[in-house]
Chain A
């Protein structure tokens, strides 16, 4: 009988990260996927990153994950969103060539030592004394293992809807996993049902491009990964996206299909995401809006398909088609594939711990959409955590949990476990209460230490980050001690509409003025003594940027750090896992039920559980004290 330390089920974005991380950490790993060619397939839009999702990609990259590198290689457009806002919400977003994305993903998996791809599908998992022992695949083979990471995406009892037609399947043209949910519910897991959707795909030659607004990428484009070879980036030709809009006529046509909408007629039971509504949902919920923005995104350089972002729908095919044809630029459109909604099973994530190991079965991990998230980045973020933890457990090492103040991934998993989402969960920057501390630019300084510890980040990279960290400290010190005279600085201040100096002022103070940038004064900094630091900054613009952010927003950053310290006090109050909430009659009924279900590890985690009242927290604090 074959044996692997870790078996990862599903070759999506969670499965890729989980399998690579566990294998790189020295475990023997099998990745089970129905089809090798489907590894890293982008089921929905061909984009990586975006607000808060870009942060996740940077964090995955800083832990040594694959997503950033793959997206950089497959990217055909790169933009930094929110550039007009502050640095904490700057977020990278890329359009990928879908074909290259899978090619690079397959390559990343195949090239990883200790990692074997098995083209098959999971039939059952075996446990003994609530501990995973192995799996059975469709071929009939039984494989032994110590850990299973389940990343089955939308495939569990997947049901696709277009109009009143429902087809079993997890993704267009791909079969669903039948029977798996049932074998898990037999083990005691509770399942729920969610819904997501995807828009039609259009043929690029049928679109009147001249009629559309152009949305170009950034020039020069910025890669996600610090490990991407800058000399080769961008790997692919860069192309723009296009923008068009619906109008009232389009809305009226869509309305004619409402009586055959699976969403409105109750055919779909799963809960859909509020932040990513279908076009029919938007028309109903925002009836006073006369138009909705649509993005036409290429699926690849030599791909004929265009993804129409913002037009997710499960209305009947003829209605979709008729409505599309009324949209500016799409008058003669060829709809290659209609939009559809997909319903799938998930396991409400209170059933996993912060390590993503299930509370019920030791050695069984859930990650990705099975935990109720949506999005490639959310899936990948969980995948790497599950993979790392599976390996750590097998190697009898300390588990790995990121704090909310450390990373978006920490926020993500804490939210999942504590709030146990009942709609598809997407990351937003506002979910992170310590947003100013967990930026894209400092992801390496936040997370390399872990990546390095697990052997996923090279010593070379880690050392480089350490050197940079020292440079920032040296530069800060230098800037607080170095003054610029009015003669030198006033012309620059005048240019920037900043009030002029009468006396010399430190560089640090000058940089705190919102209108003064480091780049505008760097050439006036004295070069004697500690001059190397100025040269270092000139040579390393990313470093200079981090430094500038930290100086400029020092006050705000300090305030957030104080908040973290305060919160940490609650995080540090541990609750024993066997704590008997049921016996605590003093808790509110809902609070008791939720606490018992989720079994938080700390008062901090307990306090974030919805339905747990402040009184409940006080009760716990009082009891834990006694």
Chain B
């Protein structure tokens, strides 16, 4: 059995070079240990909560390591609920390593992956759904994904699910009433009323489930594939978008025949762009692999940008092949090179010029619409963005539907109750009213170190 008695530390910002790095220290020794290595105007152990202190980190042999800012958080007003400090240093891995080792020399141990959040959870600072949201925030790479996670951290989903659960419990209790008090002269609820109430909960769950595509997009981003014949301008469109994007995330290395993946953030949404090499089968063994990958990318894509240019016109044959891999409603038909002014104008969804930027805004708008639908979720809407929640809701819906089947078959209340109880458990699992090992293990294993 461990008790939260030890003090832990870890780098709280991503490893690597940045302008600043933040080291977090949590636990009873936080202030004491900091005072041993930090020289500022005032002792940290004597400072108020939520104050920031400038000073120097100095090693045991007097080496001055860095100028830092120390933020003080006193229990219970910290992220984990314990005494805690955050040290902002200059962004250098060497400095960070040195400071952390200084802490380790002073009775602090290195945090395990996800341990800060685990402590926050254990201290009752956040509930299960919120703990998961933290994992999402940590991993978020776009404004939208941050918004979604914040939404969950604020407990909107928990509130919504809780109210559905309450409603379900109410319905169940009406059924139980009849089973346990059959002898009494009571007005029992009619099965059609029960069915109505269950249908209503199913509807509400379906609405929540619908937000998942949006929620997932917010969380994971949109998979978009660019497909088109050679030289229609796929690369120039991609480059244009990369230039527009404020955050170029990465390029997945590979040969030119492989699928090239770029990540761009447009209007706060993360797009994972796959520049496909070609989706037509070929005899070329090396190319064959690329074709397979491209076809997989198209299959997995939420949106396919089907690029044509004004010179070659609409490639009907390629379009037909595309339809074998994805559905029409996922395809945006793009006509490129409209700056050339001559050639075939067909009925495209959007006409652009990657060279001049003409129509690109309209393309972004279309992408946005295809990706998240026209639905306009406000900050106040509960959004499902987590796969576990999505699955639990789906299961609850299935269980409620099977309760409806029991009603339809005119079975007695205790059979209806089986599914209602199960559905209640499914909903409870989302908000952590019932918990089991598996959920916890899964959640805690997802946390990155030091966050």
Interface residues of A (CB under 8 A from B): 50-52, 81-82, 84-86, 88-89, 291-293, 428-430, 433, 435-436, 514, 553, 556, 559-560, 563, 566, 569-570, 573, 583-586, 588, 607, 613-615, 617-619, 621-624, 626
Contacts and interface: CB of A to CB of B under 8 A. Distances in A.
A570 B437 CA distance: 8
A615 B122 CA distance: 7
Interface of B: 1-4, 118, 121-124, 127-128, 176, 179-185, 409-415, 417-419, 421-422, 425, 431-437, 440
Nearest to A294: B185
A88 B412 CA distance: 10
A563 B419 CA distance: 11
Nearest to B187: A289
A573 B440 CA distance: 15
Contacts of A569: 436-437
A614 B131 CA distance: 13
B127 to A, nearest CB: 7
Pick from B412, B414, B415, B434 the residue with the most CB of A within 10 Å: B414
Nearest to B439: A618
Contacts of A429: 176, 179-180, 414
Nearest to A513: B409
A362 to B, nearest CB: 27
Contact of B434 (A85, A584, A607): A607
A621 to B, nearest CB: 6
B392 to A, nearest CB: 14
B414 A436 contact: yes
A436 B179 contact: no
B410 to A, nearest CB: 7
Contact of B124 (A89, A586, A623): A586
Nearest to B183: A81
Contact of A626 (B1, B183, B184): B1
B412 A86 contact: yes
A569 B436 CA distance: 9
A615 B131 CA distance: 11
B435 A435 contact: no
Contacts of A559: 418-419, 422
Given A51-B181, A51-B183, A81-B183, A621 B437 contact: yes
Contacts of B185: 291-293
A583 B2 CA distance: 11
B440 A622 contact: yes
A583 B415 contact: no
Contacts of B176: 428-430
Q: What are the 3 A-B residue pairs with the smallest beta carbon separation, nearest first?
A: A86-B412, A430-B176, A85-B412
Contact of A52 (B123, B180, B436): B180
22 contacts: A50-B183, A51-B179, A51-B182, A85-B179, A85-B414, A86-B411, A86-B415, A88-B414, A429-B414, A435-B414, A514-B410, A553-B415, A556-B418, A559-B419, A566-B436, A569-B436, A586-B4, A607-B435, A614-B128, A615-B121, A615-B128, A621-B435
Given A436-B418, A617-B435, A293 B123 contact: no
Nearest to B2: A626
A613 B185 CA distance: 37
Contacts of B413: 85-86, 89
Nearest to B410: A514
B114 to A, nearest CB: 12
B165 to A, nearest CB: 13
Given A81-B183, A556-B418, A618 B412 contact: no
Contacts of A586: 4, 122-124
Contacts of B421: 433
Contact of B432 (A85, A584, A618): A618
A623 B2 CA distance: 6
A626 B434 CA distance: 21
A222 to B, nearest CB: 17
Pick from B123, B180, B422, B436 the residue with the most CB of A within 10 Å: B180
Contact of B418 (A82, A291, A560, A573): A560
A283 to B, nearest CB: 15
Given A85-B413, A569-B437, A614-B434, A430 B182 contact: no
A428 B183 contact: no
Nearest to A293: B185
B306 to A, nearest CB: 47
A50 B184 CA distance: 12
B422 A430 contact: no
B122 A622 contact: yes
Contacts of B128: 614-615, 618
Nearest to B131: A618
A583 B3 CA distance: 8
A563 B434 CA distance: 13
A512 to B, nearest CB: 10
B406 to A, nearest CB: 8
B183 A623 contact: no
B78 to A, nearest CB: 14
Nearest to A79: B183
Contact of B435 (A84, A433, A614): A614
A614 B180 contact: no
Given A85-B414, A433-B421, A614 B432 contact: yes
A624 B441 CA distance: 13
B181 to A, nearest CB: 7
Contacts of B419: 559
Contacts of B3: 583-585
Contact of B411 (A514, A614, A624): A514
Contact of B1 (A51, A430, A621, A623): A623
A57 to B, nearest CB: 16
A623 B121 CA distance: 13
Given A429-B176, A435-B417, 5 more contacts: A89-B414, A430-B180, A435-B414, A618-B435, A621-B437
A553 B406 CA distance: 11
B122 A619 contact: yes
Nearest to B173: A430
Given A86-B415, A626-B1, A615 B179 contact: no
A618 to B, nearest CB: 5
A291 B184 CA distance: 12
A30 to B, nearest CB: 38
A84 B415 CA distance: 13
A429 B173 CA distance: 12
Contacts of A436: 414-415, 418
A626 B179 CA distance: 44
A568 B440 CA distance: 17
A89 B179 contact: yes
A80 to B, nearest CB: 11
Nearest to B176: A430
A514 B179 contact: no
Nearest to A427: B180
A208 B128 CA distance: 64
B425 to A, nearest CB: 8
Contacts of B121: 615, 618
Contacts of A81: 182-183
A622 B410 CA distance: 44
Contacts of B122: 586, 615, 618-619, 622
